[in-house]
Chains A and B, each alone.
Chain A
Amino acid sequence: MSHTQTHGHGHPHDPIEDNPDVRPEHLLLEQAMRELLIEKGVFSAADITRQIEDMDAITPAQGSTFVAKYWTDPEFRKAAQKDGKAAAESMGIDMSVAPELVILENTPEVHHVVVCTLCSCYPRAVLGLPPAWYKSVEYRSRCVNDPRGVLKEFGLDLPEDVDIRVADSTADMRYLVVPLQPEGSAGMPEEQLAELVTRDSMIGVSQAKPVG
């Protein structure tokens, strides 16, 4: 089968990284491989279904809970700084197949933002599957040398005296940003705090939501 067929709508520019229109040849290839692997007993159809369900069940809400606990519980914060993976496990997050988890805590002086320029490493055990833009050529290329430009596109314009610290996750670490706790949120219960913590704030392209 041909893997080089042109893709239907003849654009002159490079195709967008996450063009959701999968070529029919790849739909066929996936089906063929899946059928053969099931027939060979490598996995079952039920295994595939269960994997999809397990992955669907992981949402950024897990990360939000993690961050809220980090803000409010000094013991947990200390544990998470030492070993993010163990801290996540202690909350009941399944980290059994996850790489190490490193927490990047934002301060008034340092704002972290996470990218993976080489592929698309993402703390999926905590946040679920990454958004399409995280995997895009544009984000992966520009985040390391134009982070302020990228953050502005996300609506975040930080003062010059803040160190914008880009973490390029190239190896065995996955990074989770702990955003600054919003003003006026001190003393709020954990569940309410968690509602302020968005997925994007844990990647570092935005802040946590303001109170109220």
Chain B
Amino acid sequence: MMSGVHDMGGLPAGPVDRSEHENSFFEKRVDAMARLLSDQKRRLIRVDELRRGIESLPEYKHLTYYERWLRSVEILLREKGVLKAEEVAARVEEIQNREC
């Protein structure tokens, strides 16, 4: 049966890595961003949309958990016209120059 890349119940996998790690600032910021965008005040993103965006990522398997969230938020904000691809790309480039 065909299933999405995220739909992994019952697939073969190795032992669980039980090591604990604190969430990084990147992870916390992405989590905060997604939650703010979906809160009662903003209502820009629904959790179901966030999941759909995550599941649609072709490189799902190669991304960490919050990288997926971030990429999904980016897709959804573009869909909704809140952010444009060009302005994001331009800002990324500007930050790189800023930091060099």
Contact = CB atoms under 8 A, between A and B. Distances in A.
A158 interface: no
A22 B13 contact: no
Interface string A45-67: 00110011001100000000000
A206 to B, nearest CB: 11
Interface stretch (A29-37, A77-85, A184-192): A29-37
Interface string A125-158: 0000101110111111111110000100110000
Nearest to B67: A26
B95 A31 contact: yes
Contacts of B26: 22, 26-27, 30
Contacts of B18: 133, 153-154
Contact of A33 (B7, B28, B59, B83): B83
Contact of A136 (B17, B42, B73, B87): B17
Contacts of A75: none
A51 B95 contact: no
Interface string B32-46: 110111011010100
A72 interface: no
A132 B31 contact: no
Contact of B91 (A7, A32, A140, A143): A32
- Chain B contact-residue range equals 35 or more
Contacts of A34: 29, 33
B65 A18 contact: yes
A135 B88 CA distance: 28
A159 B70 CA distance: 43
A43 B15 CA distance: 41
Interface string B1-19: 0000011111111111111
Contact of B17 (A23, A42, A115, A133): A133
A3 B20 contact: no
B64 A18 contact: yes
Contact of B51 (A33, A97, A119, A136): A119
B27 to A, nearest CB: 8
Contacts of B74: 29, 33
Contacts of A42: 36-37, 42, 44, 82
A126 to B, nearest CB: 16
Given A33-B33, A36-B91, A141 B82 contact: no
Given A136-B17, A150-B16, 11 more contacts: A26-B26, A33-B70, A35-B95, A37-B82, A42-B37, A43-B33, A51-B32, A55-B35, A129-B31, A132-B17, A135-B65
Q: Which 5 pairs between the two chains have the least Cβ-Cβ distance?
A: A117-B9, A51-B32, A32-B91, A141-B13, A138-B13
